[in-house]
Each structure stands twice: as C-alpha cells, then as structure tokens.
Structure 1
Amino acid sequence: MTKALHFNTYGGNPMACAVGSAVLDAIEEDGLQANSRRVGEVLLKEMMTLRDEFEIVGDVRGKGLMLGMEMVQNKGTKEPLAVDQMNAIWETCKEDGVLLGKGGLYGSVFRIKPPMCITEADAQFGIDVMRSALKKHSM
C-alpha cells in the first residue's frame, strides 16, 4: 500500500447503500420515471416552439428530463451564438428564477435538467422565462 496511491470514497458503506436503496424506492413509489417521461415530452415540445420562434435557437434535443437547446447566430450556418449573448440570456433566466446549465463544444448549448419531481406548471414557467429572455436578447 505504501508504493501506490490509494484512496476510498466510502461510497459502498452500509449507510450509503441504505440511502441509495431508499432513493430508488421513492422514485418507484412516487412514479417519478413516468413523470420524467411525461413532463420531458411537454418540455421538448415547448422548446421546439421556441426553436420555431427564434432564429438563434438552432436545435433542441434530448429525452426525458435531459434536454439541450443549441444556440446559434443563424440557423443556416449553425455558427455558435456569441459568448456574450449566450451569457446574457443565461443571466436573465437565472435572475428570473430558472437555472440552466451551459455546455457543448463551444459553450453554446443550454442544458436543461430539472429534478424528477418537476410539474407541468413548473415546466411551463421555465419555458415562459426562456421565451422572455430570448425576446430580450435576440437581434
């Protein structure tokens, strides 16, 4: 053991296993997989309407509650949205109560990954905030 780096996350201890098991039970009891599928379909459909409304929304994709919205300068060239404009939209969403991740090769994809307990009303709130931010920062 002294000749190599060794560490342990303690992730396999009995307490962590009990917590993991309880989480899986709650997911099943509360129907969160079905909720993720249903609300995810609503979110994806609404994001597609944003794509159709705004030239800077190039693509939407995902499954369940793991969704992405690619931001572009123009749909024809698919050139990534400028960093300052991307950040302005992101900040406006945050200020208005919606937290989004950013990712992608150029940092021009909004990552939408809400908790499994999200409701359709919560999803619509998020879409409304994104629409408002896109209107504010679209050219």
Structure 2
Amino acid sequence: MNLTIGKLAKSCNINVETIRYYQRIGLMRIPESTQSYRYYHQQDLETLSFIQKAKDAGLQLNEIKELLTLNLEDRVEVRHVIEQRLNKIDERIQELQGLKLRLSTWLDECKTTENECCPILMELKQQATTST
C-alpha cells in the first residue's frame, strides 16, 4: 500500500500538518521521495493509529515517543511510563480539587454575604494588590 501524505491524513482523520509535526519531533519517519512524492506504507498507518490511541488514553507526545521505541516484551519499561503518567494525573486531580474548593468557597461567600460588594471580586483585587 502506497499512500501520499494527504491520503494518510484522510484515512486517519487528522491534518497533514499534524503528520508533518510528528515527523519533525521524531514520532514518525519521513519517507524518501519518489518522483517528487513521499509514499507512506501500512507501518506508517499503524504508527499513526498507535499515536492517536495513546493520545486518547491521555499520554503526552514525549511518552508516546518513548513507548514507540519499546518492544512488546518491554513490560517493565511500559509500566514505568504509565505509572509516571498516572502520578502526573493524580497531581493534576489534586490541583483541580483545590481549585474547585476555592471557587466553591467563593461562591458560598457570594451567596451568603450581606455586603453590597462582591466578595469574589474583593478577594481577587486584594490578591492582585498583595502579590505586586
């Protein structure tokens, strides 16, 4: 199977520029030119599918690049990459829970405060003046 970059992009529902970006950062190979065209093969289609599935699973491009270098037998290395991603996700969840608590507190204060001034805006303006 020989596909041009346009047909490869269309078959995977992505933009041609996305493929070129993946090539620039080393996620995909750059095929040699043949009669001023670069032809892609089944392996390129599989690589692109791998990248898309890994992105859908929440992996970052640098992690996907690392996984692409591993063999099916490299279970320890694969687990290491996934464990690191899970740790980062847990950290992000904690950050988001903290933000949720802050915003919920502000909302509760805004609903219950008898003051004419908005306590949310007062808090934000106070933070801006104390941090400068």
Report the TM-score range of the alignment, normalised by the length of the smaller protein: under 0.3
TM-score by length of 1: 0.26
TM-score by length of 2: 0.26
Bigger Rg, structure 1 or 2:
2
Structure with the bigger percentage of strand: 1
Structure with the bigger percentage of helix: 2
Larger relative contact order, structure 1 or 2 (CA cutoff 8 Å, min sep 6): 1
